[in-house]
Amino acid sequence: MRSLMEGAAAGGYEDLIKRCLDVDWPEKHTTDKDDWLWHLTLFLSKAVNDRYINIVQLMLDNGADPNGAHPADVDELNEDGVPAVLEAIRRDDIEIFKLLIEKGTDPYPSEPPACPTAFQECTSQPPISDAKFEIIRFLVNKDCLAVPGTYEFRSLISQSVKGGERVFDLIRQHTGKDIAPHYYDEQKTLCTAARFGEICIMKTYFLQDLTLTLSGNQCILLLAAQSDQNLRAIVERTVCFLLSHGADIDSRNSEIGMTPLLTLCSLKSPTEQTADTATILLEKGANIFTACNNNEFPLVKAAQQD
């Protein structure tokens, strides 16, 4: 019967699952109720993976754990141990996600270790889909963005940047806090915005405090312009924006005086994206003869790399 139920869950055969449940097989032939519920939870995880919401509902109604199978158990179904709620997010399944939350799923799963929260999962792979934005809106309405007792609005703001301008605005409105560019965490958030080419978010920070670009963060900001979206046009637009707001293209970091160009030329495993960014900096006027405190020059460092 368990094999039959597993196959039905994997294939989406709702009627067959109902027949298996209606014949009272669990009560008549199962001596260990916990073992049966364990199997139902495995079937639930399988149904979430395959996006069968009616079967998810059936499993929940019959006692399956709404958090899905424990990561150590999922080998039974050849899955990868992702909590059910996160799997629903990855598959952009809003309805299954809402159903799981309404049935008591923990939006802050603790297994496996270092597991992201639902909000972190939604913003982990920018740009986010419309479905993930709706999931975030749902989390906001439920006030389920962060683990209770660990709420820190600046960390939420920083994470929201990865979701783009609309998520950033939504989280700012939800927290009811103004950004404060002079805080270290907020400066990190600005660098994140630069990495993802979020010009509108960057403008929000500069409107709050224009001196931010003139305070020693210039080198970091220009390096952050290596957009994670890997599009040359985004990198160039970001660099131009930073320069237009006062960043010095040949600024040095506070350690050994590395300029953005020299730092890029020093990378041991340069990529095509690295080369594109270096080219953009040169086109915008970066000085190839500016050395760091160790008298190392960009051309020399670049020649030394594989």
Task: Report pLDDT digits (tens) over 66-112.
Answer: 987 665 555 444 455 688 899 999 999 999 999 999 999 999 987 76
What is the greatest pairwise CA distance in the chain?
Answer: 83
* Whether residue 174 has pLDDT greater than 70: yes
What is the pLDDT, as a whole number, of residue 76? Answer: 46
Average pLDDT, the chain: 80
pLDDT tens digits for range 4-22: 776 777 777 778 777 777 6
pTM for the predicted model, two decimal places: 0.80
The fraction of the chain above a pLDDT of 90, given in percent, is 24
What is the pLDDT, as a whole number, of residue 88? Answer: 94
Q: Across residues 38-59, what is the average pLDDT?
A: 88
* Whether residue 251 has pLDDT greater than 90: no
pLDDT tens digits for range 142-155: 999 988 776 677 78
What is the pLDDT, as a whole number, of residue 77? Answer: 45
Q: Which of 40-54, 190-204, 285-299 has the lowest mean pLDDT?
A: 285-299
CATH number assigned to the domain with residue range 211-305, chosen from the 4 options 3.40.605.10, 1.20.59.10, 1.10.357.10, 1.25.40.20: 1.25.40.20
Instruction: Report CA-CA distances (Å) from 219 to 130, 131, 244, 249.
Output: 34, 36, 14, 7
- Assign 219 a pLDDT band (cuts: 50, 70, 90): low
- The class that CATH gives domain 1-98 is mainly alpha
What is the pLDDT, as a whole number, of residue 148? Answer: 77
What is the pLDDT, as a whole number, of residue 12? Answer: 77
What is the pLDDT, as a whole number, of residue 167? Answer: 96
Q: Across residues 123-128, what is the average pLDDT?
A: 89
* Whether residue 165 has pLDDT greater than 90: yes
What is the pLDDT, as a whole number, of residue 303? Answer: 64
| Pairwise CA distance, residues 295 & 13, whole Å | 70
Identity of the amino acid at 5: M
What is the pLDDT, as a whole number, of residue 78? Answer: 42
What is the pLDDT, as a whole number, of residue 90? Answer: 93
In the chain, CATH 1.25.40.20 covers 211-305
- Assign 173 a pLDDT band (cuts: 50, 70, 90): very high
Give the position of tokens 């760091």.
292
What is the pLDDT, as a whole number, of residue 57? Answer: 93
| Pairwise CA distance, residues 243 & 201, whole Å | 16
What is the pLDDT, as a whole number, of residue 306? Answer: 58
Q: Across residues 237-262, what is the average pLDDT?
A: 82
Contacts by residues 50-53 (CB-CB < 8 Å, ≥ 24 positions apart)? 50/9, 50/10, 50/12, 51/91, 51/93, 51/96, 52/9, 52/12, 52/14, 53/93, 53/95, 53/96, 53/99
